[in-house]
Amino acid sequence: MGGEVYRHGVPHPPFVQPTLETGTPLHEVTFVVVDLETTGTGPGSQITEVGAVKVRGGAVLGELATLVDPGGPIPATIQVLTGITTSMVVGAPRIEQVLPSFVEFVRGAVLVAHNAPFDMGFLKAAMADAGYPWPGNQVVDTVALARRVVTRDEVPNHRLATLARYFGARTAPTHRALDDARATVDVLHALLERLAGLGVHDAEDLATAADPVPASIRRRRHLADALPDAPGVYLFRGPGDEVLYVGVATRSLRARVRTYFTAAERRTRMTEMVRLATRVDPVVCQTALEAQVRELRLIAEHTPRYNRRSRSPQRMPWVRLTDEPYPRLSVVREVTTATHIGPFASAQTAHLAVDALHETFALRRCTTRLARAPAGPCALAELDRCGAPCVTPGDYATTVAAVRSAMTGDPTAVVDAHNDRLDALVAAERFEDAATVRDRLGAFLRGAARAQQFDPLARIGELVAAQPTNGWEMVLIRHGRLAGTLVVPPRHDPRPAVDVLRATAEHVNPPLPPSTAAHPEETDLLLAWLARPGVRLVAVDGTWASPVRSAAQVPWRSQHTA
């Protein structure tokens, strides 16, 4: 799959790996440690004091502290706990007056709080009431971090006062916002030192540091560190260079692979795979479509033991109308020039499609090869489960023609027969039988639609289409297979890129039969991409589309897709 890539107006060779980007090292991260005092913890409670300390690399960059008028009296118990009295907040600014300064103070920083859900909940509510959008800063909870790295053998609990004493904080918590924020700064630094031993070295690591992930998994996060921030495919490799698993990242390889080392990954087999992995190989792609197609091809090539789908596309079943004197339906793994529909996800689904056709047409169901001369009826014919061309061969050709038409063109006969059957079963309240009929019809329609979409696309020798993005995403398809893709940057004429794309794209020989041109799921991806809003045909078999048409107008879009 070739194609020249244009970046900033300069052509680059395909699949050039961009400069590697990793997360911001923790010593370069700006933290704002926040603490609030409030009139209580329940509904209707208001903020009475805000304290915040901005730090980076262990140095204090600034502090923000102010009392806040809650708009009412402070309960006596809160006055005793915090030392903030009602008279102290008289004349203090209201929270909506404090928020603009606070938002500016925390801009671009990671917010930190001890029991962060409490403080962030009050801040978000106050900002919503004042009509300010939440800035979306990353939030770190020192309580959650402490639970991961400070055991109960060391401290009886994870309260701020307990941790401040244990780590020797320079400021003791006093239930006043600025003092508690200063104490939390020292606790944060002590926790970061411990987390470094678990492989937490940058802001991205810190975002998932509190996740309940086994240490054996967390320590392997370095496998993602050198991956680029670009779309592509990743291959987990194990001992002996075996490909364990192939996956796709439609935006960022590094971000996607990192999720395997966090609590976001809950699949037992993936945890087992990560423990075996020794490295991750990236394949950088220009577009998400290319990445998805390459994933399918690499899975089919390597058949990794931890991938469950798409490993053997050549084994997907089809339904064939056999080419013999008295044709019948057969579920097969190989496609010939005979009439067929599919492929199907499983043999069970293929057999449901066969049942749908048998329920509609009087095809023979016996599996023996019949001669052209009539023979005696078989047992299935005596049970009225076979078209019995061995007895009445004269009408059988008409039946076969109707079946072929339903498979390759108009499925109305199958739809009508099943709708009539469904109406009768529902009226009789035989809902389980109705569900079976529904499944048969759905399986047939999906298989027929797939075949009717695959063949027209596979017969086109070369198709160029484009999607407007930040510039143009251009795709070249040959005989139903993705042959090349490139991205044209904004304000550049995309027409010269078509010549580059044609010259560098993969050569694809016409397949026989056409429906076997590519991995079935690859064709599905290409059809779905062509049907996206805004995708335009540029050229078909060397002829420029004039005017450029929507790809959704092309004939492979079946109206019978279930």
> Which positions are catalytic?
175
SS3 234: strand
**At a CB cut-off of 8 Å and minimum separation 6, what does 227 contact?**
20, 234, 253, 254, 257, 280, 282
**At a CB cut-off of 8 Å and minimum separation 6, what does 468 contact?**
534
Q: How many CB atoms lie within 10 A of CB 429?
A: 8
CA distances from 394 to 377, 389, 397, 403, 405 (A): 15, 8, 7, 16, 19
* Beta-strand relationship, 30-38 and 110-113: parallel
Instruction: Classify residue 501 as exposed, middle or buried by CB count within 10 Å of its CB (0-12, 13-18, 19+).
Output: buried
**At a CB cut-off of 8 Å and minimum separation 6, what does 332 contact?**
317, 318, 319, 320, 340
Residue with tokens 């928020």: 99
**At a CB cut-off of 8 Å and minimum separation 6, what does 429 contact?**
none
> 241's torsion region: left (phi>0), alpha (psi -120 to 50) or beta?
left
User: What is the distance between the alpha carbons of residues 305 and 417, in angstroms, rounded to a whole number?
Assistant: 43
Q: How many CA atoms lie within 13 A of 412 on its CB side?
A: 1
Question: DSSP per residue over 69-83, as a string?
Answer: --SSPPPHHHHHHH-
User: What is the distance between the alpha carbons of residues 213 and 263, in angstroms, rounded to a whole number?
Assistant: 6
User: What is the distance between the alpha carbons of residues 535 and 552, in angstroms, rounded to a whole number?
Assistant: 8
Question: Do residues 284 and 17 make contact, with C-beta atoms less than 8 angstroms apart?
Answer: yes
> 388's torsion region: left (phi>0), alpha (psi -120 to 50) or beta?
left
